[in-house]
């Protein structure tokens, strides 16, 4: 029996990086996994096969996290095909970094739409099912940048701070229905998102982290297993940093 046996989870943005690691850990722990992707169609389809090999039900959906109506359709499809929705993980995210002076309106809107509005979209669509079940765990992936701010990432930091305020509000509103909401704030995790940076910059970051290394996607995924499982049944409204003491 895994920690998540019998539970159904929906994970957004699971074709690569942290979302993919969460999907695999969830399947290993016995959860049925619905997940989304947008541009990485082949990777999304391959993941569906990989997850099914764990003997759980798995299905990938091509769905744009920033689209309100698409999120509603997605949640309805998951509930009708899986028969439940116990855990919702909002992981889909992008960066469009630039100094404020050079940041375009499009770069602002795109980041807020995909990173922040996406959380509103799926949570709004999922709450009816979770309220009926009188149970649910919502996990939103924020960032240490949403706590501290970061030069060159005003749009990203604003979206990630917004996720924290949103998560805490959901925890307050839905706590009486036994629905929990928490945010996970990764520090520097080595994925494709951070792989685009030059090695010298990356080594500088590693050196500045008290644990002297970047994190692995699996280390974020393990935190999500804990928050999705009944092991965390009295934890709600929290922001859990997974950052090797980067921001302390």
Q: Does 66 carry a binding-site annotation?
A: no
Per-residue binding string, ligand NAP, 50-89, x by CB under 6 A, is --------------xxx-----------------------
Give the single-character DSSP code of 56: S
Looking at the Cβ atoms of 153 and 229, the one nearer to ligand NAP is 153
Stretch that binds ligand NAP, among 6-14, 120-128, 131-139, 204-212 (CB under 6 A): 6-14
Stretch that binds ligand NAP, among 11-19, 72-80, 172-180, 199-207 (CB under 6 A): 11-19
Q: Is residue 91 a contact residue for ligand NAP (CB under 6 A)?
A: yes
For residue 36, the cross-strand partners are 61
CA distance 137 to 235: 10
What are 22's two structure tokens? 């969460």
Task: Work out how close the CB of 227 gets to ligand NAP at its nearest, in angstroms, rounded to a whole number.
Answer: 14
Question: Contact, 56 vs 31, CB < 8 A?
Answer: yes
What are 61's two structure tokens? 């959906």
Q: Kindly provide the residue ranges of all beta strands, DSSP E only, lying in the chain, ordered along the sequence.
A: 8-11, 32-37, 58-62, 87-90, 136-141, 179-186, 239-242
Q: Which residues contribute to the site for ligand NAP (CB under 6 A)?
A: 12-19, 36-40, 44, 64-66, 91-94, 114, 141, 143, 186, 188-189, 191-194
């Amino acid at each position: 029996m895994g920690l998540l046996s019998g539970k159904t989870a929906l994970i957004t943005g699971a074709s690569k990086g942290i979302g993919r690691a969460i999907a695999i850990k969830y399947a290993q722990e016995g959860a049925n996994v619905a997940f989304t992707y947008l541009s990485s169609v082949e990777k999304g389809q391959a993941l569906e096969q990989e997850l099914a090999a764990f003997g759980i039900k798995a299905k990938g959906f091509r769905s744009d996290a920033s689209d309100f109506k698409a999120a509603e359709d997605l949640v309805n499809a998951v509930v009708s095909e899986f028969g439940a929705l116990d855990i919702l993980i909002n992981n889909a995210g992008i960066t469009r970094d630039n100094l404020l002076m050079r940041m375009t309106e499009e770069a602002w809107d795109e980041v807020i739409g995909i990173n922040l509005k996406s959380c509103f979209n799926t949570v709004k669509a999922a709450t009816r099912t979770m309220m009926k079940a009188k149970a649910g765990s919502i996990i939103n992936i924020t960032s240490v940048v949403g706590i501290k701010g970061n030069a060159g990432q005003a749009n990203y930091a604003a979206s990630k701070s917004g996720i924290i305020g949103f998560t805490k509000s959901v925890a307050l509103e839905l706590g009486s229905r036994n629905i929990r909401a928490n945010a996970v704030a990764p520090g520097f995790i080595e994925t494709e998102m951070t792989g685009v940076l030059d090695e010298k910059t990356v080594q500088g970051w590693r050196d500045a982290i008290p644990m002297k290394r970047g994190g692995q996607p699996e280390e974020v995924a393990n935190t999500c297993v804990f928050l999705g499982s009944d092991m965390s049944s009295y934890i709600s409204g929290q922001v859990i940093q997974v950052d090797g003491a980067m921001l302390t």
